[in-house]
Structure 1
Amino acid sequence: MEELKYIIEDSTIAELLGVQNFTNDESAVLELVKNAYDARATLLTLHFEGSQLIITDNGVGMDSNDVKIHWMHVGKSSKEYQVVDENNKTRVLAGSKGVGRFALSRLGRNIQISSKKKGATGVIWITDWNGSILSEDKDLHESGTKIIINNLREKWSKKRIENLAEFLSKTYNDNLMKIEIFHPDVDIVVKKYFPAPKLGKNCLSNIQLNFNSDKCILTTEVQSDEFLNEAIKYCPEINLHEFSIETDIIDEFKSLKEFDLTLEELQAHLSNLGNFSAEMYFNINSTTVEMEKFLYKYSSVPENLKGGIILYRNAFSISAYEGKKDWLGLGKRSRKSPAAASHPTGSWRVRENQLAGKVEIDKKKNAVLQDLSNRQGLDENIYYQLFVEIILTGLKEFERYRQSIVRLIDVKNNVNPEDKPTPISDKVVSNPTTVSQLSPKEAKQLAAEIKTYRKESNDFKREKANVEQRYKYDVRILNVLATTGLKASSIAHEMRNDRNSIADNSNNIISALQEYDMWDELSSPDKTEKSYKNIPYLIKSNSEVSAKIVAFMDTMLSEVEKKQFESTWQSIGDLLNKIKQVWERDYAWVSIKLQIEDDIVFKMSEDIVRVIFDNLILNSIQQNESKDHLNVNIIAREQNNFIHFLYSDDGKGLDKKYNSNPRRILEVHETTRKNGHGLGMWIVNNTTVMSGGEIIQITGQNGFSIEFSLGGNM
């Protein structure tokens, strides 16, 4: 027997584990920062100059043996749980998979590493990702590692450097290693993103959660400075500044349908989850009217913290949980329960933009919270689900605490109409000359009434805005319904001659053959030997095709599912690929080509993209039904926080009447088709504008083309 081992080309490893394994360049830089941290460095510098990046640390460095045995051994990590650095400080090591070094490939094409380990000769390792060379360098005298990355794959502008510094400030949660970034246009020292909470300065309330997995107890503590001292008289039994509660998670979760666990299993899972903590900062902006109504102390804080909720594993955040992603589902919670804090019965939920903070877990204590194989997130297993639900349980405690205060304060705003004095304003309106005859008390009452009317006017405006927002949601639903109807109408049009007989044909054929005494003979073994002559088989296949048509209709109906309207972080590539697959499945003569920038992820709801492109593709198909083949091309790129699209087809283009003003096709009921409805392009424009984007350009010669942007209000 001969033992075999895989042989993989260096360039293939670099492509798979480097270029394709990291969602962006910043994540790749973070991996190298982690390596320096694990090497016990106290100083790390990043020098950007032209197409070169030099990364230098004063860590323990490597010798020739380290390079051969560890650095060149893919998938093996020599790192333990923790180490002690030269300052006698303990560090929990960030690396474990043995693939982080390939972040170099994501950043550049040519790499040179110079490294020196104490008591050993320095080494130089050079690669172009097709091969690697190792040599000794006796001129290296100080411990540490210097990485020179030449031929950077991307240009690093001042703005990108500032974004990198902000990214590192959010993802690096320690002060044992100083990080400095140098660039021809800017020099930055990276600092921790979250400062110590200061009530009234960077937050209104500070929420601290601590979960004890041995006792299955969650402790929630709140420090608050949101309300004026005057509020004490409306809620004397509630401490306006401090709140603490212990929640038994076993009791809290045992009746939840989301977890299909016995009581013993639930306790075991919670115990295995391990201890963890969280600190969150609550902020809300208030109008003058709201401040007076609910006795708020601040309209806003001067240093409002943003950035979402970041999940840290020891010194570093976990990829994809750096604050951009609403991984706790706060937006979904608030949409399900949109009640105001003053609502007498509804449950108020903190909004996504009202909360920032961090959750801290440990590599060893919380080992059941596992990285995905590509290290771009966590495996959302049962432990992860319990973990999230525990955090949300702590937030519910805060929400209940705050809502109880607001409700009690709001009682003062609900004055009994019988207790109100007769309006002086009624008297003045009926006879304006009486203004000069008002007593000082009446004049004061008139001023108070006018002030009240202004408040009510502002309240009405806010309520009107809320109603308009709800109507916008309704319009989006109607857009989807209309688009689905248009697609169904198009397919029904093609099938109008056969539609009535499709469902019954199979049964009718079988009945006829049985009536003519032919069915038994056709079902005999000698008549069914060959599939293409097997009549029962062919009839059955035809019946299955009919069933697929019904299934297709079910698929179209599924496009109005509620989840499409929930705003989440969406992959534009994934959305467009789904649309492409459906249309190419239903129209074999249509080919859709996608050209999308890597990793365009945008916070939006799925229905916006689907409504727009379903209508564009349907419009192309209906305008070019006489063609044997139609090519559609979709280009997408991200620019200035907007997504820019260029949609085009190689069909006949626009009718000549639109040559002077192609934007006419966006008007409602504008069409050149005899049986057309003129709604498709109007829906495209309406949805685009509603998203905060715009139609940039339309051309209709040599095919049809439209350029537009989405963003802003999604």
Structure 2
Amino acid sequence: MEELKYIIEDSTIVELLGVQNFTNDESAVLELVKNSYDARAALLSLTFEETQLIIADNGIGMDTNDIKRHWMHVGKSSKKYDVVDKNNNTRILAGSKGIGRFALSRLGRNIEMFSKKAGAVGVVWRTDWNSSLLSDDESLNECGTRIIISNLREKWSKRKVENLAEFISKTYNDNLMKIEIKHPVVEKVITKYFPVPKLGKNCLSNIQLVYDSDKCVVTTKIQSDEFLDDAINYCSEVNPREYCIVTDMIDELKASKEFDLSIDALKENLKKIGDFSAEMYFNINSTSTEMEKFLYKYSSLPETIKGGIVLYRNAFSISAYEGKKDWLGLGKRSRKSPAAASHPSGAWRVRENQLAGKVEIDKKINSVLQDLSNRQGLDENIYYQLFIEIILTSLKEFERYRQSIIRQIDVKNNFEIEEKRTPVSDKVLSNPITVSQLSTQEAKQLAAEIKTYRKESNEYKREKANVEERYKYDVRILNVLATAGLKASSIAHEMRNDRNSIAENSNNIILALKEYDMWDELLSPDKIEKAYKNVPYLIKSNNEVSKKIVAFMDTMLSEVEKRQFEATWQSISYFLLKIKNIWERDYAWVTIKAQTSDDIYYLMSEDIVRVVFDNLILNSIQQNENKDHLEINIIANESNDQIHFMYIDNGKGLDKKYNSNPRRILEVHETTRNNGHGLGMWIVNNTVVMSGGEIIQINGQNGFSIEFLVGGKI
């Protein structure tokens, strides 16, 4: 048989792998910078002239054999993982695909390359992309490579060259090769884009992430200088200066709906990702009102770090991940959860313009994070998706940390200050004519008062806008739940007339079969051998389902009654007894003990207590479905014009991922159940806070317990 090989025209290769393969001119230049880095150059210069771009380095150069065997062999790379340069520094090689040289065609139509390798005669390679010529050049004395790109496809203006300098600065993450850019009106020496983080100078918080693939854990270390020293007086639960937490990614992702993986498969994939690290810098501007309200230390910083999040693989960033693209999806996250950091129950999310930094991976260690064929991005496979989740998990830890500080500080702003009007304003309001009779001192005082009222008015408008924004997300979620509830309620109303027949059908069928002398025969061994033909078993199962349907109908018809939302003097003991009876009726394996005094009466609407305890009890039941018996204790007492509750169950408690921070369960969509929505505990917290109360303590070890206060605001 004859062996055949593809024959491809040079111009076709150039068009596909060069002109069309690179998204912009800057990324094409970067490929050539990488080539010089891999050639162990200590110096690289990019010189722009009128119609030429000259790229010159002092690397190891090439000889005739290198040109023929490697340079002209498309798709083959002779590059290993690393090399040692002449200064004994190890470099991780950037190239691997064998197509980076076609970046030249993106930049110009004619190429001349002069190269000299130690111990060999210099060579010249010329091409117009239709044909290529190679010849010796004995005049070349110094090792290295010089490429002259003529007939440039684009005009390199001052602004375009400055953009290139910034692009290379952002994408080059090393100092082993000095890069110079020369232009008739611009000269630049490339330096690392991200400076050393300085709290209070160029960032408010420094977030460091280290992923250990062997243990499948991510360690997040945070240093912050965002808040005044007084903040520590309000932060009993967290240090506003520094924080460190280790997160188990298996526990974090095992209930994720996005990954259809068993725990073993999840663990295996998390291990394959390999170790990596990241450093991010947080900054946000604050108004004078916010500074006073939340004890912020700075309104703005003199040297803000910008540039988005850049993904580096060793010495260079990966194209399309150099900070312009929101590849972590921070914008989408913040739009889905727009709550302010001071929101009492919503989850604050960092915005993409508030964060800059770098994520660093390795060519070998993180080999499962693979380049696309055009090297303009990464294959978004399962490893990439898990990689993103690890980074976002670390960011969540920062978001929780910062939000917990602001929430604790915000407590001081919740005390109502009695409005005090000064005598001058009272005097003028009661008799406007007295304005002309005011003394100089009184006129100045009145002017100061007017300024104060204006300031208060503006602050009120801002606060109103903040409150409206704060509850937009809450309303969206509650609208969805309310709509689902109304649909179910409508169906329950339609089935109300069928309630009795649903409840009694099973008993009526059994009585009918007995009357027809068929029941005993249906109980014979040969008739009950197979479950799907076992009529008594099927009737019994149907009876159990019918009971649940009837219970559902009764619940839906009772819980949407208008009177539930009217505030009246209510007996807490009676409330809890009703809840106990309903749940014990529907779940025979659950026992609820309510301990409270009969003389506790409180002005509130019934829906508050029902919503809180229905969600708590449902959560306990769903978390302990495999138990034979579940015992729940509810203790209620009066406490400073509020009701103090303790809720305790003897179930399995919280998942271990909540051990370090059990209050995480209060966040929206937080769940460890595969089919869970993560709204139950968020609704509990939201209802408690809106009533004027608060969640005091949560414990998830040796069962579950939660301590909270309920007020009477709603």
Answer whether TM exceeds 0.5 for this pair.
yes
Using the TM superposition, give the Cα deviation of residue 305 of structure 1 relative to its aligned residue in structure 2, in angstroms: 1.2
* CA deviation profile, 1:483-502 (whole Å, cap 9, x unmatched): xxxxxxxxxxxxxxxxxxxx
Answering whether residue 404 of structure 2 is matched by residue 397 of structure 1, we say no
Which residue of structure 1 aligns with residue 340 of structure 2?
340
Residue type of the alignment partner of 1:394: S
- 3-state secondary structure, aligned to 2:227: coil
Partner of 2:27: 27
Note the alpha carbon deviations across 1:626-660, whole angstroms, 9 max, x for none. xxxxxxxxxxxxxxxxxxxxxxxxxxxxxxxxxxx
Q: Could you list the per-position Cα deviations for residues 243-294 of structure 1 after superposition, in whole angstroms to 9, with x for gaps in the alignment?
A: 1110011111101111100000000000000011111110001111111111
Asked if structure 2 preserves the Cα contact closer than 8 Å seen for 1:280 and 1:358, the reply is yes
- Residues 7 and 345 (structure 1), Cα distance of their counterparts in 2 relative to 1, 3 Å cut: same
Structure 2 SS opposite 1:333: helix
Matched, 1:109 2:87: no
1:266 aligns with 2:266: yes
Aligned pairs for 1:618-629 (under 5 A) are none
User: For the residues of structure 2 that align with 1:222 and 1:384, how far apart are their CA atoms?
Assistant: 25
Give how far 1:458 is off. 3.6
**Residue in 2 that maps onto 1:181:** 181
Question: Alpha-carbon deviations, 1:445-485, whole Å to 9, x = none?
Answer: 996896365144244157559979999xxxxxxxxxxxxxx
> Equivalents in 2 of 1:231, 1:311: separation in Å?
35
Compute the displacement of 1:295 (Å). 1.0
Structure-2 separation of matches of 1:70 and 1:90: 22
1:200 is matched with which residue?
Answer: 200
TM-score, normalised to structure 1, is 0.63
Amino acid at match of 2:336: K
Which residue type is aligned with residue 346 of structure 2? G
Aligned to 1:451: 452
Maintained 8 Å contact 1:113/1:124: yes
Runs of 4+ in 1 over 4 A off after TM superposition: 419-428, 431-438, 443-450, 461-471
Cα pair distance change 1:117/1:323, threshold 3 Å: same
Post-superposition CA distance 1:143-167 (Å, at most 9, x none):
1000000100000000000000000
Q: Which amino acid aligns with 1:391?
A: I
C-alpha distance in 2, partners of 1:358/1:429? 60
Do residues 460 (structure 1) and 461 (structure 2) align?
A: yes
Q: CA deviation at 1:430?
A: 2.9
Q: Which has the higher contact order (CA 8 A, sep 6+)?
A: 2
Q: Which residue of 2 aligns with 1:705?
A: none
Deviations 1:112-132 (A, max 9, x none): 100011111111100100111
Write the distance in 2 (CA, Å) between the matches of 1:405 and 1:12: 60
Which amino acid is the alignment partner of residue 127 of structure 1?
T
**Alpha-carbon distance in structure 2 between the residues aligned to 1:179 and 1:309:** 23
The answer (yes or no) to whether the contact 1:121–1:136 under 8 Å persists in 2 is yes
Distance 1:76 1:220, change over 3 A: same
Partner of 2:41: 41
The verdict on how the C-alpha distance between 1:237 and 1:272 changes in structure 2, with shifts beyond 3 A counting, is same
* Higher mean C-alpha displacement, 271-280 vs 419-428: 419-428
Tell me how far apart the structure 2 counterparts of residues 408 and 162 of structure 1 sit (CA, whole Å).
46
**2:252 aligned partner:** 252
Q: Secondary structure at the match of 2:373?
A: coil
Residue ranges of structure 2 left out of the alignment (5+ in a row): 473-714
Q: CA deviation at 1:47?
A: 0.5
Secondary structure of the 2:397 match is: helix
How many angstroms does 1:429 deviate by? 2.8
Partner of 1:7: 7
Q: Which amino acid aligns with 2:65?
A: N
Provide closer, same or farther for how the CA distance between residues 108 and 437 of structure 1 changes in structure 2, counting only shifts above 3 A.
closer
User: Could you say which residue in structure 2 is the equivalent of 1:319?
Assistant: 319
Aligned-partner residue type, residue 23 of structure 1? T
Matched positions, count: 470
SS of 1:44's equivalent? strand
1:647 counterpart residue number: none
Matched to 1:86, the amino acid is: K
Residue 68 to residue 275, structure 1, CA distance change in 2 (3 Å): same
**What are the within-5 Å matches in structure 2 for residues 147-158 of structure 1?**
147-158=147-158
Which residue identity lines up with residue 331 of structure 2 in the other structure? G
Q: Distance in 2 between matches of 1:448 and 1:236?
A: 37
Matched, 1:298 2:337: no
> What is the aligned partner in structure 1 of residue 647 from structure 2?
none
- Cα 1:262–1:436 change in 2 (3 A) is farther
| Cα distance in 2, alignment partners of residues 449 and 208 from structure 1 | 48
Contact persistence 2:213–2:270 (CA under 8 A): yes
Residue identity opposite 2:129 in structure 1:
W
- Give the superposition deviation at 1:393: 0.5
SS at match of 2:226: coil
Contact between 1:428 and 1:435, CA under 8 Å: does it hold in 2?
no
* Structure-1 residue corresponding to 2:330: 330
Corresponding residue number in structure 1 for 2:504: none
Residue 138 of structure 1 aligns with which residue? 138
CA change 1:238–1:431 in 2 (3 A) is farther
Identity, % of aligned positions: 71
Other structure's SS at 1:385 match: helix
**Aligned partner letter, 1:340:** A
CA contact (8 A) 1:289 1:455 kept: no
Whether the 8 Å CA contact 1:180–1:189 is kept in 2: the answer is yes
What is the CA-CA distance between 1:236 and the residue it aligns to? 3.9
Are the equivalent residues in 1 in contact too, given 2:225–2:241 (CA < 8 A)? yes
Contact 1:423 1:446 in 2 (8 A): no
Larger Rg: 2
The answer as to whether partners of 1:208 and 1:279 remain within 8 angstroms in 2 is: yes
Aligned residue identity for 1:123: V
Q: TM-score, normalised by structure 2?
A: 0.63
The answer for the alignment partner of 2:381 in structure 1 is: 381
Distance, in Å, in 1 between the alignment partners of 2:159 and 2:447 is: 56
Contact 1:201 1:304 in 2 (8 A): yes
Distance 1:28 1:462, change over 3 A: farther
What SS does structure 2 have at the residue aligned with 1:310?
Answer: strand
Decide whether the 8 Å contact of 1:312 with 1:359 is kept in 2.
yes
Shift of 1:237: 4.0
The letter of the residue matching 1:402 is R
Q: 2:31 is matched by which residue type in structure 1?
A: E
Matches within 5 A, 1:560-571: none
- Aligned-residue RMSD, C-alpha: 2.7
Contact 1:372 1:378 in 2 (8 A): yes
How far 1:373 moved relative to its partner? Answer: 1.5
Partner Cα distance (1:229, 1:314) in 2: 39
Tell me the SS of whatever aligns to 1:210. strand
